[in-house]
Amino acid sequence: MSYKKTINVALIGNPNTGKTSLFNELTGLNQKVGNYPGVTVDKKEGHSKLQSNLKAIITDLPGTYSINPTSLDETIVLKTLLNSKSEKTPDVIVVVADVENLKRNLLLFSQIKDLEIPTILAINMADQMKRKGITIDLKLLKKELSNEVVLLSVRKDPDQGIKEVKKAIIKTYNSAKAFPLCNVNNRIDPAYFDRLKEINPKYSIYELWLMITQNSFPDKISEDEKKALLTFKNDSKNLKKYQHKETIYRYQKINEILKKTYLADRSKATDLRAKLDKVFTHKIFGYILFFTVLLLIFQSIFDWASLPMDLIDTVFANLSSYVNKTMPAGVLNNLISEGIIPGIGGIIIFIPQIAILFLFISLLEETGYMSRVVFLMDKIMRRFGMSGKSVIPLISGTACAIPAVMATRNISGWKERLITILVTPFTTCSARLPVYAIIIALIIPDKKIFGIFNLQGLTLLSLYILGFITAIIAAIILHKTLKIKNTSFFVVEMPDYKLPSLKNVFFDVIEKTKAFVFGAGKIILSISIVLWFLASNGPQAYTDVEKNIIEKTVSQEITEVKLNQMIASAKLENSYIGIMGKSIEPLIKPLGYDWKIGIALISSFAAREVFVGTLATIYSVESDDDDITTIKQRMASEVNPETNTKRFNFPVGMSLLVFYAFAMQCMATLAIVKRETKSWKWPLIQFVGMGVLAYICSFVVFQTLS
Amino acid sequence: MTTIASLHIGELAYISEESLNEIPLKLLEMGCLPGAEVELIQLAPLNDPLYICVNGSHLAIRKETASKIQIIKAQ
């Protein structure tokens, strides 16, 4: 008999156990990031073939030390497990443990066992046993836990490990046996738990207990049952005490089992960790090292990204003109060659920078170094209302704020997390660079000072520093004004140093780059199409432009190129977007901008980098969007008719730089902030606050300089 | 009161029974149990946070938490 069947398998484990490595080995390229129903956190899923007639959907749950959550990431684990009686939930759970910290890993295992879901214990990093002086009696351990146990080393010997895990999954699935490991109820208050069980015997006692302590209920539970459960909350003032007792009892049980089955001879352990920690967490060298690492990262981003970026630029420019020439002329041609292709190009061009930065961040996390940075930076960041863990989002923000905001999920304090989310967009993201580059080229002379420092480079560096300092100041203000009590507390595991797994780094970079492409990409692309429409359509005056100009210039001697440029630029002036630009001119005049810059400002509220492209269209430059020299020359020769001086003079340029440094001009980030904070309140505050700051600062800069 | 916060770098101690209710559940779950051995490995500037090894787990905790957990120093 041959039939095909698919089962759900979930991977659970403490952070740093190699859970993700196992997931990557099991699923390979068959993985994707989806959404948990009802929750807005990404879910990593993949397919794996267990045997010819049995397939598994593998879910990689966020790393956690226990079922009792203290951060958003960990809440997912609880929610997935509590819904275990519905059909989309795990048939088999694989608890991934690290051989060196087996005792602590078994706590999570014991909690999951008590939910009475079929479970496998996969003890990873078995190749380290000899070096750490560890021996395990596997046979006895299986018996003591009455559970399937697999020893594996995903890094060293993935094929063997995967084979064993698959075998264990099939075996456990077929027997479908699940018993609790620790009958915690009998040890704490049997009468209390007996009454609890009566509410609905379909659920295990531990499940019902979790519903009470975590205030989290499965979707299928009835209102009456929920009410009955809530009375238990009032019934016992000792909820917290019971939880403490539960944990201590679990450890007693685990210690009993490990005493018989697990032996660690600490004298054989090497002290590489201690030696490295002496340097990496040193009160002085630790910081010097960290800032050197940061400097090297930024240096490499600029060095390595420029070549692929130029390449992408050329490819899309050529593609655009190729389509324009080969397709029959008309609206569709214009839409594709002037709206869609430049729109997609505008997204792809950022991938090199973003991918390179995430490559470094991922490497630092994989080696275990990032935890040391969190340790070093925590006290400093706390002064600003953030946590040591906020360092990672703030660094990621220099690539793109979208994955950066998502990286705040492991910050357990809500206030610390919220402040990090709100200030991250101040850091200089890659979308600001094209704007900075062209304005700096216009207003700052390409000169060296003191013989080595390039003035333009220094200006760019100051803008980066300005971004960081503003983020810090904003954080301090939020810290002082937000009346939110920080309830959770801070604990970070300092994992052992290890060589990064290139496979994990690869998948991590892909995942984060995808978050940018699909998060920001969708919005940037749709806005480019809307912009194209607004710029190429308009009321009656727009349609008459061509006729009027030809009539007006019929007596003059001008070239056809010049005529076409005049028509294009007059068309834009009379298009919908031109009208919008003119209507905001009074508002932006005090900042030194005219209606043309106004158009660029409006369009870059979708995404900052659109600024350059829009100005190129406005000034009707007959070349591709990012050919800086031509746009630059055109911008440099633009004259302010009122004063008869250059439009992009020093005060206007500085005012623009400040505006782009501060204003919240990224719809995609606002959408992500809404998703992560579950309300429009915070993105709105962010948008208005940053906008007002940008306006005031640009006003002051322009008025003082001119 | 002798707490984790009063340890010197490299010093060993045991978590005392008395502070059981002061230990946050999460820390308890990570192995910081009464009777467990604790060693201070490193201090960040201003002595906060603390990098400790407790029951085999290497953790960084804030001074605020550390100063609530009582210990008995090893002889």
Average pLDDT over every residue of B53-69: 93
The pLDDT of residue A418 is above 50:
yes
Q: Do A490 and B62 touch (CB under 8 A)?
A: yes
In this complex, the residue of B33, B49, B60 whose CB is nearest that of residue A251 is: B33
Q: Do A491 and B48 touch (CB under 8 A)?
A: no
Better pLDDT: A618 or A18: A18
Can you give A281-298 as a three-state secondary structure string?
A: CCCCHHHHHHHHHHHHHH
Better pLDDT: A331 or A165: A165
Compare all CA atoms of chain A with the CA of B28 and give the residue at the minimum distance.
A247
Give the per-residue pLDDT at A620: 57
Contact (CB, 8 A) for A153 and A10: no
The pLDDT of residue A629 is above 70:
no
Give the per-residue pLDDT at A622: 45
Q: Which residues of A touch B28 (CB under 8 A)?
A: 244, 247-248
The pLDDT of residue B66 is above 90:
yes
The letter for the amino acid at A365 is E
Beta-carbon contacts of A435 under 8 Å, excluding residues fewer than 6 positions away, are A604, A608, A609, A611, A612, A656, A660
Question: How many angstroms separate the CA of residue B59 from the nearest CA in chain A?
Answer: 4
Q: Do A491 and B31 touch (CB under 8 A)?
A: no
Q: Which residues of B touch A251 (CB under 8 A)?
A: 31, 33
**Chain B residues within 8 Å of chain A (Cβ atoms):** 20-21, 23-31, 33-34, 41-46, 48-49, 51, 55-62, 64-65
Compare all CA atoms of chain A with the CA of B61 and give the residue at the minimum distance.
A491
Helix-strand-coil percent breakdown of chain A, rounded to 5? 65, 10, 25
Better pLDDT: A605 or A288: A288
**Rounded (5°) CA angle A330-A335-A337:** 95
Give the per-residue pLDDT at A623: 43
Taking one residue from A and the other from B, the number of pairs with CB-CB distance under 8 angstroms is: 107
Tell me the per-residue pLDDT of A77-136, one tens digit each, with 9 for 90 and over: 888 888 755 556 789 999 999 999 999 999 999 999 998 889 999 999 999 888 888 999
Alpha carbon distances (Å) from A649 to A2, A377, A463, A619, A629: 77, 41, 18, 17, 17
Alpha carbon distances (Å) from A401 to A353, A362, A522: 13, 16, 15
Question: How many angstroms separate the CA of residue A246 from the nearest CA in chain B?
Answer: 10
Q: Do A375 and B46 touch (CB under 8 A)?
A: no
Better pLDDT: A82 or A519: A82
The percentage of chain A sitting over the pLDDT mark of 70, rounded to a whole number, equals: 94
Compare all CA atoms of chain A with the CA of B48 and give the residue at the minimum distance.
A379
In this complex, the residue of B24, B41, B57 whose CB is nearest that of residue A104 is: B57
A498 vs B: CB within 8 A: no
CA-CA distance, A242 to A175, in Å (whole number)?
A: 33
In this complex, the residue of A107, A251, A281 whose CB is nearest that of residue B42 is: A281
Number of domains in chain B: 1
- Give the CATH number of the domain where residue B24 resides: 2.30.30.90
Burial class (CB in 10 A: 0-12, 13-18, 19+), A577: buried
The pLDDT of residue B21 is above 90:
no
A244 vs B: CB within 8 A: yes
* Per-domain residue ranges of chain A: 5-175, 285-481, 509-705
Compare all CA atoms of chain B with the CA of A111 and give the residue at the minimum distance.
B29
The pLDDT of residue A625 is above 50:
no
* Average of per-residue pLDDT values in chain A: 86
Tell me the per-residue pLDDT of A302-335, one tens digit each, with 9 for 90 and over: 788 889 988 998 898 889 889 888 888 888 888 8
Domain extent for B23: 4-73
Q: Do B25 and A247 touch (CB under 8 A)?
A: yes
Q: Do A283 and B31 touch (CB under 8 A)?
A: no
Q: Do A494 and B31 touch (CB under 8 A)?
A: no
Compare all CA atoms of chain B with the CA of A493 and give the residue at the minimum distance.
B59
Give the per-residue pLDDT at A55: 92
Contact (CB, 8 A) for A520 and A602: no
The architecture that CATH gives domain A5-175 is 3-Layer(aba) Sandwich (3.40)
CA-CA distance, A424 to A422, in Å (whole number)?
A: 6
CA-CA distance, A602 to A623, in Å (whole number)?
A: 23
Alpha carbon distances (Å) from B66 to A380, B1, B19, B39: 18, 12, 11, 12
Average pLDDT over every residue of A489-504: 89
